[in-house]
Amino acid sequence: MIFQKFYFHPATRVERIFRILAREANTLKIKYWNILVNKKESLLDKSLLMPFAILTAISIVFIYSSSSVVADADFDNQYFYLQRQLVALSIGLFAGAIFLFIPISFYRENGLLLILISAFLLSLVFIPGIGVEKNGSLRWINIGFNIQPSEIAKIFVPIYLCGYCLRRKDQLETSWWGFIKPLILTSIISVLLLLEMDLGATIVIFAIGILILFIGGAKFNQLLILFLVFISIVILIAYFNEERWSRVVSFSNPWDDVGGTDYQLINALVASVQGGFFGLGIGESTQKYYFLPESHTDFIFSIFVEETGVIGMTLLFSCYLVILWRLFKLADSSMKKNFFFNSLLISLFALLFFIQTSLNIFVNLGLIPTKGLALPFISYGRSSVIMNFIALAITLRASWEFRNNIK
């Protein structure tokens, strides 16, 4: 009888557990909502979000415009790439909303975990059945859907370096060993990327790493030696790889092999020139009719200029300048308020956005050899767009915390 008095039917016990969990979840939701609403500064920085919203709208329009011909021919669905990008965009927005609620202290304390996750995901690329090869490059893993680990590494590796600069600032400023230590794990990531033939991502991570270490207190002569070593390695890798070296040679003389290695670059230049001042009109590109390969990914900038001309390019560059101005202003303000790590994170996103955008545009204009880099928030690429919105969410969180003096 005593046992029966305190015994609950299994279904009843499960119901009681769910009621408790629901009550606790509701309490937590109210707590975080009050934190966000009752602060003087909003979590959503409108002056930063507005230009990103414009870039996203441009992306939707021009991914469809640049890919519709190829998608219709290959998949009998002119919206194929647009539909996939919209799904990725939805996932990116959802993931970004989650990352908005993760305190910056998590990244400060768990940088080592993040870089180890990056190394693990990059190593999965080489496992048969998991790694996926496209266009001669082994850069994706299949976990039910394809993801590109290098896009994750572009964010997680610099976050690790930001945390190291905060924890070991004295060692970084005074000793060679303090400078070399963070480069050990970073070098492992670089080797994995180079084995995947992803030179573009390697260059982006390396460039951001140098600048983060410089901001963190590393000496100029240390960074100069690191830069020279890295450039030497890149040149050697390119020289002993016939395909990569042919890109370098074709870049030096783009009219030498019009129908071969120079084909993509020449058609990108043709697209940009055809745009003129006003452009041909949205949807009126001629180069997307199988003349310009990867017109919706790496070379979407050329299609954009072809269809919108100098006017469209001016609008695009204006968005970029507003974003960079706002980000560097936030980084400077957080540094002045002694939020050193927040400043590094915001600087990281500004540098990532600036470096990758610059490299992509330089490639499209024939100023540097092709690298296989997407134009942030514009190009088609599901892993890229998801990680872009996660990076933006981390930046918004870092900005919100220092503006509200939350440590």
Q: Which residues pair with 138 in a beta bridge?
A: 133
What residues of the chain score a pLDDT lower than 50? 1-8, 10-11, 13-14, 17, 24, 28, 31
Task: State the pLDDT at residue 10.
Answer: 46
CA–CA separation, 295 vs 305, rounded Å?
12
**Pairing outcome for strands 146-147 and 131-134:** unpaired
Structure tokens at 226: 């690191």
Closest alpha carbon to 288 in 273, 307, 315: 307
CA–CA separation, 94 vs 102, rounded Å?
14
Handedness of CA 299, 302, 305, 306 (dihedral sign): negative
What is the amino acid identity at position 132? V
> Which DSSP category does 138 fall into?
E
User: Which residues touch 211 (CB under 8 Å, ≥6 apart)?
Assistant: 347, 351
Closest alpha carbon to 8 in 99, 72, 16: 16
CA distances from 69 to 78, 168, 289, 315 (A): 6, 53, 6, 26
What is the amino acid identity at position 208? I
pTM for the complete prediction? Answer: 0.85
φ, ψ of residue 358 in degrees (nearest 5): -65, -45
